[in-house]
Structure 1
Amino acid sequence: MKYELTGDTLTFQGRQLHRICALVDLPEIGVKAGDLGGWIEKVENLSQEGNAWVADEAKAYDSTLVTGNALLKNHAVAFDQTLLTDNVVVSDYAVISGEAEIRGEAKVSGGGLVTGVSLLANKAQVSEYAQVVDSSVLDEGKVLDSAQVLNGSEIRNQAIAFGNAQIRNGSVLSDEALVYGQAILSGVEMYHQSQVHGNAKVAAPGSQLFDNVNINGNTVISNAVWIHGQVKITGDVMIDKRQEIKGDFTISSQAQMESFYKWGVINESVKALPESHQADGKALLDLATKTISALSPQMQELALNNVQKQFDTLAKAHNEQMEIHHE
């Protein structure tokens, strides 16, 4: 045995807890035989094996198990059916509850909360007043400040959520993705170095952001989109049409966004042209791409209307040829 329950008791949340006392030295964590530890409800809360320890004024109760080399210290609390194992450290005023599992070398500090059916593993970090509810933080993922990760979402690799960001409804942050500020993500997947910040809201299940995409300002995306490349969307832009956005450009106004919608229509027009007119259509599109992007939003609108008219002319010419052929 490495510890025993002392006669020092404490009533906490309706449970009677007992302070522990080390019976052997635990040099890896600086504990010597005779040192007093924290509080547990029963011996089932803290393994007698390994270097697992409850220190200071920390508390473990209900069906919580602290095992392996896990350390619960300061004023941290673990209860319900939680598991702290391997080399995890839960410190300060952190709270672990529900069916949460903290594994690997994960750390929870500050006033961090991990609850529900959640998993922290590898070198994951949750700190300050961040919350992880029914979600996962893996690898070197971090949830900092007052960020919230909710409803089956996942932070992995080196992705970070911080500020007052809210990640919810099965969203995934992977690679080096960042979400911060007051941003909200709902049902969205982010990869590579993509970022969502400011007051941006991407509440569009099925959406995917790749590469170096940067969504900020007061942007609102409410329909599924696939955005990749070096695209930056800022200002008061609303995207409510299902579409793919790719390239290297900035959209900073609703007028520019409407112009982009028209690009989408024009692209579909090219695809719809018969094979005999595809070359003309693609040449026209390439020329338009090189020239229109340099224009002001107002001039882009006029230019795009003109391009659409030229595509309509191509389509009309094709239809007339087909009528002559049938005659």
Structure 2
Amino acid sequence: MSRKKYEITEAAHPKYPWLHRIRAICQVNEQVSPGMLGGYVQTEDNLSQEGTCWIYDQAVCCEEAAVADDGRMFDGAVARGSALVGGDARMFERAMAEGNSSFFSGELKEDARLAGNAVVQQSDNGLSPLIGGKSNVYGTVCGWFVVNDNIFEGEHYVNRTEDMFILKEGKREVLVKQRKLEPPEEYRKGKNKREDRER
């Protein structure tokens, strides 16, 4: 059996007394050292004893929800229902993940909410979404998006490019990443040979 990284204390949440604060037993990640208090859980199933995941500040993970891998919750964020916060996902402020939502990468902040069967993850190129404002996401968001809008069940937004796609209040925009023209390898090798001959 692996060693535990945290314990559940007797300190109850001031508004929800069935939730209790966590305390680190060992070095969990670069920010969490032994003895540091974290946020609130209902049971040990809410926060994995594996990985570098953590619940900070006044954040809450309860019911059947879980935080795993390197997922992190800050401020007053809430994960409930059967939501999964994993991968390198980050939740801030009053963000909420609920229902059967899966949040694997990116940032969820302000009053944004994942619900239903929402899936939020990074694309193959490693870029992840930023979801904020009063967004309600029920569909899929994958890749580099800035979302301040509602995404309904069955909607799939996938961005495999390095350009930033912006979904804001019913409008769609693109911020194009400017790319320099780079000479091919053969050209660079040939140029170096010419320069050597000229010397």
Deviations 1:198-246 (A, max 9, x none): xxxxxxxxxxxxxxxxxxxxxxxxxxxxxxxxxxxxxxxxxxxxxxxxx
Check whether the contact 2:114–2:136 (CA below 8 A) recurs between aligned residues: yes
* 1:17 matched residue in structure 2: 19
* 1:127 matched residue in structure 2: 132
Check whether the contact 2:116–2:153 (CA below 8 A) recurs between aligned residues: no
User: How far off is 1:131 after superposition?
Assistant: 1.4
User: How far off is 1:2 after superposition?
Assistant: 0.5
- Structure 1 SS opposite 2:18: strand
Higher helix share: 1
Q: 1:128 to 1:3 in 2, by over 3 A?
A: same
* 1:48 matched residue in structure 2: 49
User: How far off is 1:25 after superposition?
Assistant: 1.5
User: How far off is 1:75 after superposition?
Assistant: 0.3
Measure the CA separation in 1 of the matches of 2:119 and 2:130.
11
User: How far off is 1:26 after superposition?
Assistant: 2.6
Q: Does 1:161 align with 2:167?
A: yes
User: Which of 126, 139, 143 pairs up with 1:139?
Assistant: 143
- Structure 2 SS opposite 1:19: strand
Check whether the contact 1:102–1:121 (CA below 8 A) recurs between aligned residues: yes
User: How far off is 1:77 after superposition?
Assistant: 0.2
Measure the CA separation in 2 of the matches of 1:21 and 1:38.
9
Q: 1:89 to 1:141 in 2, by over 3 A?
A: same
- Structure 1 SS opposite 2:110: coil
* 1:152 matched residue in structure 2: 154
* 1:232 matched residue in structure 2: none
Measure the CA separation in 1 of the matches of 2:116 and 2:14.
24
Structure 1 counterpart of 2:46, which letter? Answer: N
- TM-score of the two chains, using structure 1 as the length reference: 0.47
Q: Which runs of 5+ in 1 are unaligned?
A: 166-177, 181-192, 194-327
Counterparts of 1:38-187 in structure 2, within 5 Å, are 38-103=39-104, 105-122=105-122, 123-133=128-138, 135-144=139-148, 147-157=149-159, 158-162=164-168, 164-165=169-170, 179=172
Deviations 1:161-192 (A, max 9, x none): 11x22xxxxxxxxxxxx627xxxxxxxxxxxx
User: How far off is 1:18 after superposition?
Assistant: 0.8
User: How far off is 1:56 after superposition?
Assistant: 0.3
* Higher RCO structure (Cα 8 Å, ≥6 apart): 2
Q: Which runs of 5+ in 2 are unaligned?
A: 123-127, 175-199
Counterparts of 1:139-288 in structure 2, within 5 Å, are 139-144=143-148, 147-157=149-159, 158-162=164-168, 164-165=169-170, 179=172
Check whether the contact 1:142–1:155 (CA below 8 A) recurs between aligned residues: no
Count, aligned residues: 162
User: How far off is 1:11 after superposition?
Assistant: 6.5
Measure the CA separation in 1 of the matches of 2:156 and 2:109.
19
User: How far off is 1:125 after superposition?
Assistant: 1.6
Measure the CA separation in 1 of the matches of 2:141 and 2:15.
29
Check whether the contact 1:55–1:72 (CA below 8 A) recurs between aligned residues: yes
- Structure 2 SS opposite 1:44: helix
User: How far off is 1:47 after superposition?
Assistant: 0.3
User: How far off is 1:53 after superposition?
Assistant: 0.4
- TM-score of the two chains, using structure 2 as the length reference: 0.77
Measure the CA separation in 2 of the matches of 1:125 and 1:154.
15
Please report the RMSD computed on the Cα atoms of aligned residues, expressed in angstroms.
1.7
- Structure 1 SS opposite 2:13: strand
Measure the CA separation in 2 of the matches of 1:61 and 1:12.
14
- Structure 1 SS opposite 2:19: strand
